Structures are given as C-alpha cells and as structure tokens.
C-alpha cells in the first residue's frame, strides 16, 4: 500500500465544492470526494502550521509536544509516521513550503525539496512508483497571499499589502481576499491534485494507494478583531484564535480499493487520528517505547462500530521576546459544546455549537449550563497539566512581567 498525504494550508471545509453553499468550482476535488470518505467534523490540534503538522505526524496533541517555534527539534521520545514507515521499508519523500522552516530540524522527515514546483513532486512519484512509498506534501498556494511568488521579498510585500487592505477597507478587502482564496483552491484542484491522480492511475497504482487530502488549519479574515486597524500579521488571520473557522479542517480520505467510497462521517474526529489509522491499516502496533498516542484509528468510525464523539483539544502557542514558546489559549470541543480559555487574559468562553455554530454568543456565565461548563473545565485542566514544564515556566514569567509593568515597576 502506497500512502499520499496532501496537506493544503488554510483550507476550510466549508469552502470545499461538496459544500452546497460554496462558490468554489473544483471538479477534481469534487470527484475525489465522491470516491473518498468525507470527515465533515475534523478538528486540528492547533490553528497554525508547525504545531498542527507536528501533531499529525506524531499522533499526539500539540500542547504535549511543545513545538511552537521552527527551530525546536522533535521530541526524541516520540516515534513519528516517518520512523514507522522507514522501518517498514518505505521510500519517503517530503515536500514543504520552505525547507528552512518546516522539518528543518527533523532529518527523519526525508525532505526532498520545497513544494512550489509541483513537477518535482510528480517526478518523485514516478521515480518511486515501483516501490512502496510515502509522499508527504505541504502545499502553500492556499495560504495568504494565495498566489505563487518568485521571492521571499515579493511574498512579504504581497502579504503586507493584504494586511493593509484589511486595515483600511475591511468589508471590501474580505470579499477580495475570499475571491483570491477560492481561486487558489480551484487552481490546486485542477493543476496539482488532478495531475497527481492522473499519474497514479497511469502507473496503475491509484487503486492501491491510501490518500489523505487534508488541511493543517482553517482561515479567517479578521472577523474576530474588533479594531480592524490592528490587523498586522498572518497570525491575526489564523493562529491567534481557536474558533471553528480556524480549527475545523478539510479531511477527505480515499482508502485503497475504493473502500467505503462516498461515505460522509458527521462524527467528530481529530487530526491526531491520522497516524493510528495508517498503523492499523498496515498492521503495525504503536511503539511501546514511544509516548502513548492521543489519536485512535478512524477505521471503526468509518465502519460505524465507533460513533462516540471524542473531545478534541486545540491549543495555540505564542513566543515571548526571547522567542521562547508558551501556551496562550486552549479549547476543548466536545460537540455540541466548546470551551475556550485565554490564559493571558483569564477569559473564558463557552458555546453551544448546535444553536450557535459561528460562536457569537458566550454562554460561560449562563447558570443553567454550569454542569456542562464544569465538565469541560475538568477536561481542560487535565490537558493543561500535561503542558511541558518549560512552556509553563515561560508563561508564568510573562504573567509576572505584565503584573510588574501594570504596577509601574517595569
């Protein structure tokens, strides 16, 4: 069985062509969805790339791994997807948005090149089509500025211009941004995904290949920022918040031999479930010397033998002036309820996603929901206790500095 994992940055599931309300015209993705299992309630471990993908390859929540800066090495007591498949004799090829960042301190990821030239990806597949292989691809065309750039400076200039548009004329800028975003999704559908599927079919290996078409996180356009003049960085669009527009992800899975094709799963699942799913399909037990997995296989969910929704933990981390990471916010999503805490502001939010899917009405202080809030607070506290000590220390340091500054000592 070959394995292809296509991660397209920032793609929201409500922008997929299988959604009846979308404007996206992407026939290849639409056809792929008909041949796949569509997990409509898939949640990422973090709303930005590094911690999200770290959780995917390890099957462990981001806040336990503690990876929130590009220069951090992967924990050596965690066995990743790459480790497992290398032991099984797989050829592994990884393509990333920029080789200086993602996996730059993780040689076991077998990074081949950047992902901007898709011809190189197709060539790699063609060269390894006679062996069992893992292709791990992170595409960035669906990330702001939603079009290819020929240099870092051009990319930064385009991003700054978009932030400026959002600050100065937010409503018109959002329409403009969404149009570009849609075009980017349509482009990768018909110029990347289509070519990849055609190549697998030409090499007569499509039917025996497991394909994940997913995103690492969602996207927003400053809707949650009251003062639009404060939109300054990409983190204001994704990364800073834990609302569903940022943590719900695309997850379409085409199993070998068209198993369960066309099925839609409404049960809540998690990005950390991807690794244990692959391990079960390959008959590989989780390593007894590695940290225990948070994820669990999706196969019982697809078979209908496991329909219990699992509470999902999502976190976002920031860095202080020393570029030291700490957890800023944490969310527990136990559908239909969701609890979010901002540790810096000591602010709590509680939502009923069935009644309020856009998370506009904070019910945290509603006395009739006290027991439900308490239940999720207990779950959150258990997960908070598992945050690495160095991140807790950084947060306490920052909290003390803010207090001293407010008192006039700094």
CA dihedral (391, 396, 397, 402) positive or negative: positive
Say yes or no to pLDDT of 206 above 70.
Answer: yes
Using DSSP, state whether 92 is helix, strand or coil.
strand
> What is the pLDDT confidence band of residue 192, given thresholds at 50, 70 and 90?
very high
Q: What is the mean pLDDT of residues 43-57?
A: 96
> What is the pLDDT confidence band of residue 322, given thresholds at 50, 70 and 90?
low
For residue 47, what pLDDT is reported?
A: 95
For residue 45, what pLDDT is reported?
A: 97
> What is the pLDDT confidence band of residue 98, given thresholds at 50, 70 and 90?
confident
CB atoms within 10 A of CB 58: 28
Is residue 43 within 8 Å of 271, Cβ to Cβ? Answer: yes
Using DSSP, state whether 381 is helix, strand or coil.
helix
**Distance of alpha carbon 111 from alpha carbon 73, whole angstroms:** 15
For residue 310, what pLDDT is reported?
A: 85
Say yes or no to pLDDT of 66 above 90.
Answer: no
Say yes or no to pLDDT of 76 above 60.
Answer: yes
> What is the pLDDT confidence band of residue 320, given thresholds at 50, 70 and 90?
low
Say yes or no to pLDDT of 244 above 60.
Answer: yes
Q: Which residues pair with 78 in a beta bridge?
A: none
> What is the pLDDT confidence band of residue 395, given thresholds at 50, 70 and 90?
confident
> What is the pLDDT confidence band of residue 403, given thresholds at 50, 70 and 90?
confident
Average pLDDT, the chain: 92
More confident position, 68 or 125: 125
Say yes or no to pLDDT of 372 above 80.
Answer: yes
Return the DSSP state at 210.
E
Arch. (CATH architecture) of 2-303: 3-Layer(aba) Sandwich (3.40)
pLDDT tens for each residue of 323-351: 567 888 999 999 999 999 998 888 999 99
Using DSSP, state whether 384 is helix, strand or coil.
helix
Per CATH, the number for 320-406 is 3.30.1120.10
Give the lowest-confidence range in 167-181, 273-287, 310-324, 325-339: 310-324
> What is the pLDDT confidence band of residue 151, given thresholds at 50, 70 and 90?
confident
Q: Where are the domains of the chain?
A: 2-303, 320-406
Percent of the chain clearing pLDDT 70 (strictly above) = 98
């Amino acid at each position: 069985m070959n394995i292809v994992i296509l991660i397209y940055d920032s793609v929201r599931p409500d922008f997929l062509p299988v959604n009846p309300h979308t404007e996206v015209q992407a026939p290849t993705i639409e056809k792929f969805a008909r041949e796949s299992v569509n997990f409509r309630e898939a949640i990422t471990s973090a709303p930005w790339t590094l911690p999200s993908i770290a959780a995917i390859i390890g099957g462990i929540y981001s806040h336990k791994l503690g990876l929130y800066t590009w220069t951090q090495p992967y924990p050596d007591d965690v066995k990743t997807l790459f480790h497992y498949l290398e032991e099984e004799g797989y050829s592994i090829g990884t393509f990333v948005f920029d080789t200086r960042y993602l996996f730059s301190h993780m040689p076991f990821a077998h990074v081949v090149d950047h992902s901007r030239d898709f011809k190189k990806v197709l060539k790699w597949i063609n060269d390894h089509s006679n062996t069992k292989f893992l292709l791990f691809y992170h595409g960035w065309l669906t990330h702001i500025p939603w079009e290819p750039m020929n240099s870092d400076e051009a990319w930064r200039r385009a991003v700054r211009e978009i932030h400026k548009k959002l600050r100065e004329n937010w409503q018109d800028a959002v329409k403009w941004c969404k149009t570009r975003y849609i075009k980017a999704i349509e482009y990768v559908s018909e110029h990347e995904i289509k070519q990849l599927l055609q190549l697998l079919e030409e090499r007569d290996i499509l039917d025996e290949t497991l394909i994940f078409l997913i995103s690492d996180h969602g996207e927003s356009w400053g809707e949650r920022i009251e003062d639009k003049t404060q939109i300054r960085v990409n983190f204001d669009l994704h990364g800073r918040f834990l609302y569903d527009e940022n943590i719900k992800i695309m997850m379409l899975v085409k199993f070998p031999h068209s198993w369960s094709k066309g099925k839609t799963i409404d049960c809540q699942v998690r990005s950390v479930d991807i690794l244990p799913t692959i391990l079960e399909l390959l008959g590989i037990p989780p390593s007894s010397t590695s940290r225990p997995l948070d994820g669990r296989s999706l196969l019982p969910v697809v078979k209908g033998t496991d329909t219990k929704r699992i509470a999902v933990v999502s976190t976002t981390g920031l860095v202080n002036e020393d570029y030291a990471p700490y957890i800023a916010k944490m969310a527990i999503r136990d559908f239909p309820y969701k609890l979010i805490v901002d540790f810096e502001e000591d602010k709590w939010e509680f939502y009923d996603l069935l009644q309020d899917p856009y998370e506009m009405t904070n019910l945290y202080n509603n006395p009739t929901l006290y027991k439900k809030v308490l239940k999720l607070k207990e779950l959150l506290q258990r997960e908070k206790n598992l945050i690495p000590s160095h991140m807790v220390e950084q947060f306490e340091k920052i909290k003390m500095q803010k207090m001293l500054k407010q008192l006039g000592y700094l």
